[in-house]
Structure 1
Amino acid sequence: MRIAAFQMKAAGGDQAANLARIEKAAREASADGAELLVAPELAVPGYGAGDEMRNLAEPPGGEVVARLALISLEAGVAILAGFAEAAEGSTYNSAVFADGRKEPVIYRKSHLYGDYERNLFAAERPSACIVEHGGLRIGILICYDVEFPENVRRLAQAGAELIAVPTALPASDHAELIARKMIPVRAFENQVFVAYVNHCGTDELFSYAGLSAIAAPNGNLLAEADEKSDTLLFADIRPEDFAASAAANPYLRDLQF
């Protein structure tokens, strides 16, 4: 399966503008043969929407999810994008897997990062959220979730072949370590693909590291973005190409507790 990762500069608080940009990227991704487009964490409201986030939050049956499903149907590509979810009396930092031909699947972030997120969102219990698309089993995490090896291992043990990670990694002195070293290690130690898809640029509250990447099970990067540019990355996900790596590094088979 060909996938696309959309590193974007989202407009904080402007859901209409961000949805329009995701739609444009979806059409471009589909035209290049992609069957899945991954957008960043809270790509729809913009990660830096701040206190407006709660007002922008919508239920799973709301307009945001319906719009993403329609874009998916019209563009012919499934979409995974972050949005603010209003549910059960709380607001969640969520991602929706929208395939216009199927019911949307929602994943809620389990590991909230910093006071900014903890003041805005409720944390969900860790889970193994996996969707099947185009014959590929896709696990979903959000940003800080992937920095805990237990979360990736849980998905790998549940049979995920690709782990898609919408993220909002801020610019910092350790951002490159996470994006360029930790992410390939997560892929290698679990023999899975990892699509790590970040924001770039700045908004009113944050500066973002960019550095989106798609890592292969052998730890190599199949595609990578720079720190600053809106970028649409592509990679062909073929698990059978990495059978030798899995055989040489059988971590899941040999794991003991």
Structure 2
Amino acid sequence: MTARPAAPVRPAVRVTVAQLQVGTDRGANVEVARDAVREAGRARADVVVLPEYASAFDPRGVGPELAEPLDGPFVSALREEAARAGVAVLAGTTVPGEDDGPGAPRAVNTVVGVTADGALAGVYRKVHLYDAFGQRESDRFVAGPADAPPLVLDVAGLRFGVMTCYDLRFPESARRLVDAGAHVLVVPAAWAAGPLKSTHWRTLAAARAIENTSAVVAVGQAGRGVVGRSLVVGPDGVVGLELDETPQVRTVDLDADALVAVRERNPSLTHRRYAVVPRT
């Protein structure tokens, strides 16, 4: 019989990185997500992070046909398992969009935050749609409002601020989360594969950590058409965890005291001369 892992020694906050591979079968994907939350519970994690499109993914493009409401099976399952395991959850999903005019309806690329008692704490709607590298996410999705309140989830004394995938290329998105009090930047993603894309993913995650003196938890989708390669980067830019392309679930401890020490040694946030102002 395997011994249960010891609880994190405070001030450490334990984070489970769930690099999942899912498809278009939403019922099967619910079970994959449940298993990830259960594994986080067994690891005595404080929070588990699932990738973008954890509810359903098609490498040819995700659209409204794979969307479901926030009270649908996927988010309901996350809330149930979070409460059972006592673990907060951050996960990407796709929800139906409101009617935005003539033509086919579009969905909303969304990250949900669930507390360890199963409450839906907040929702982030992806602001930067991936209309780059030959992709046209805006054909299938409606962007979230740039001036919406940031999603920042308090977990065990640290504040986890949420953006997703393509947002990683926009430093002002990360800085806005830090302005809202985030200590950790969480990036669920389905980072598209291609020339230099893995290099961009790693470099940008480290850059967001260094420039914000914040930890970064960047969790990629695994499988065809995406890079996987989830990362946990310290506030000093040191990569503490880096996965390959395969589906896997790993758990790490974030040292809250170390984050404070980095910000004291490098007080660049207090030296800022410009503010981030959303464009509406």
TM-score, length-scaled by structure 1: 0.91
> Given residue 216 of structure 1, which amino acid in structure 2 is its aligned partner?
G
Q: Which whole-Å CA distance do the structure 1 matches of 2:188 and 2:55 have between them? A: 12
Unaligned runs of 5+ in 2: 1-12, 100-105, 275-280
- For residue 48 of structure 1, give the secondary structure of its aligned residue in structure 2: coil
Whether 1:251 and 2:268 are equivalent positions in the alignment is: yes
> Is the 8 Å Cα contact of residues 3 and 237 (structure 1) preserved in structure 2?
yes
Q: Which whole-Å CA distance do the structure 1 matches of 2:190 and 2:86 have between them? A: 26
For residue 215 of structure 2, the aligned residue among 193, 196, 199 is 193
Q: Which whole-Å CA distance do the structure 1 matches of 2:97 and 2:52 have between them? A: 18
For residue 82 of structure 2, the aligned residue among 52, 56, 72 is 72
- For residue 185 of structure 2, give the secondary structure of its aligned residue in structure 1: strand
> Given residue 105 of structure 1, which amino acid in structure 2 is its aligned partner?
G
Q: Give 1:120 deviation, angstroms.
A: 0.9
For residue 224 of structure 1, the aligned residue among 238, 242, 257 is 242
> Given residue 178 of structure 2, which amino acid in structure 1 is its aligned partner?
A
> Is the 8 Å Cα contact of residues 166 and 197 (structure 1) preserved in structure 2?
yes
> Given residue 183 of structure 1, which amino acid in structure 2 is its aligned partner?
A
> Is the 8 Å Cα contact of residues 18 and 46 (structure 1) preserved in structure 2?
no
Check 1:173–1:55 CA distance in 2 against 1; reply closer, same or farther (3 A cut).
closer
Q: Which residue of 1 aligns with 2:15?
A: 3
Check 1:49–1:75 CA distance in 2 against 1; reply closer, same or farther (3 A cut).
farther
Whether 1:183 and 2:183 are equivalent positions in the alignment is: no
Whether 1:98 and 2:105 are equivalent positions in the alignment is: no
Number of aligned residues: 250
Q: Give 1:145 deviation, angstroms.
A: 0.7
Q: Which residue of 2 aligns with 1:23?
A: 34
> Given residue 78 of structure 1, which amino acid in structure 2 is its aligned partner?
A
Q: Give 1:47 deviation, angstroms.
A: 4.7
> Is the 8 Å Cα contact of residues 50 and 91 (structure 2) preserved in structure 1?
yes
Q: Which residue of 2 aligns with 1:44?
A: 55
> Given residue 186 of structure 2, which amino acid in structure 1 is its aligned partner?
A
Q: Give 1:101 deviation, angstroms.
A: 3.5
Whether 1:240 and 2:263 are equivalent positions in the alignment is: no
Unaligned runs of 5+ in 1: none
Question: What's the % identity of the aligned pairs?
Answer: 32
Q: Which of the pair has more CA radius of gyration?
A: 2
> Is the 8 Å Cα contact of residues 169 and 199 (structure 1) preserved in structure 2?
yes
